[in-house]
Amino acid sequence: EPEVTQTPSHQVTQMGQEVILRCVPISNHLYFYWYRQILGQKVEFLVSFYNNEISEKSEIFDDQFSVERPDGSNFTLKIRSTKLEDSAMYFCASTGTSAYNEQFFGPGTRLTVL
Amino acid sequence: AQSVTQLGSHVSVSEGALVLLRCNYSSSVPPYLFWYVQYPNQGLQLLLKYTSAATLVKGINGFEAEFKKSETSFHLTKPSAHMSDAAEYFCAVTLTAGNKLTFGGGTRVLVKP
């Protein structure tokens, strides 16, 4: 069964450093998403990506964040200068064009900013 | 705009008892509704989805949910809890294909032997 994969599973970084979180969506999917979940809180939408551009972004997704689909299979989230409050679990998701609109989630990357 | 409210951040049930998790939504148009489950240290797994077909939706692991437009609700039930049902459950809504999911706050289920 096809699945969304994410690497690394856990990333520890120092405040102010850049991090890149990687995702490989399901191969025939067209819409890609990043969500985050701060420990003990709800899952929050960050950004959606379609046709090689951002289709929607939340207030959280400020200039420190960027997304890219560099090679037609990977989908990355970059945080330019990490802050303590960026510590969270980051989930990648993808969906096709089905009217059922089911999003398939990856296992997540736990980002810890020290 | 859409929003989701899950009543009860924690629910404790005995093994074999009914599981009932409440979800109410707010949406300006007919929504697509989902329940996801998150086991400890894992990602989100789809339990079931409502897409404007049958109002009673059956999902995996014996769960089902009923869409009630008049009550703007999509409560999740399972007749008989199993120890393996201990997890966090999230209700989510979206309005159109390709749009973001808006999640409720989640309900953590504890199953007592």
Q: Following CA atoms B37, A51, A55, A106 in sequence, which dihedral angle do they give, to the nearest 10 degrees?
A: 20
Q: Is the pLDDT of residue A78 over 80?
A: yes
How much is the average pLDDT of A26-34? 92
> pLDDT category, A48, cuts 50, 70, 90?
very high
Q: Which residues of A are less than 8 Å from B97 in CB distance?
A: 31, 95, 97-99, 101
Cis peptide leading into residue A8 (ω within 30°): yes
Per-residue pLDDT at A70: 87
User: Degrees (nearest 5) of the Cα angle B41, B43, B48?
Assistant: 130
Question: Which among A43, A58, A102 has CB closest to B46?
Answer: A102
- Report whether A28 contacts A97 (CB < 8 A): no
